[in-house]
Amino acid sequence: MQKKFRAWYKEKLKYIYSNEFDYLNDDQDSFTCTNSIVPSTDGECYLIKHTTNSTLSVKWLQNCVIEQFTGLHDKNGVEIYEGDILAYGDDYDNPTTGIVVFDGNGFWIVGANQTHMPNIKEVIGNIHTNKE
């Protein structure tokens, strides 16, 4: 599986996904392109812009929280990243909730009393916009 990331950009209070960096230009606060997120040191990442005339431009962002894609999707086809809040479990009417984390060995759900990703229902939020 190819590693894929998103970044919570604290300055703009927005998530940045690959191919969605249309609001980060310093001059106009906007640009559109096909991009990649490349994590750097803690709280930093590089956005690599691939333009139509085969040139590259790189934008460096500080104060980001880098979150990795798990390779999984919820019941609605939404990609699941670390930092997402999930509803999961076998009780459809009363699901359990937990936060996806990556510990270097794999992805886990904080609060799940299991050794694997449980029966995932759906992404119901994330740790940055759903503080409660």
DSSP 21-37: -TT--TTTS----EEEE
Structural domain of residue 84, as residue ranges?
A: 74-126
Greater model confidence, 38 or 106: 106
Tokens of 109: 């759900």
Is residue 14 located within the same domain as residue 59? yes
pLDDT of residue 15: 86
Greater model confidence, 48 or 52: 48
pLDDT at position 96 over 80:
yes
In a domain, 131, yes or no: no
Query: Which residues have a Cβ under 8 Å from the Cβ of 11 and sit 6 or more positions away?
Result: 61, 63
**Listed residues 64, 95, 113: the one ending a domain:** 64
| Amino acid present at 73 | H
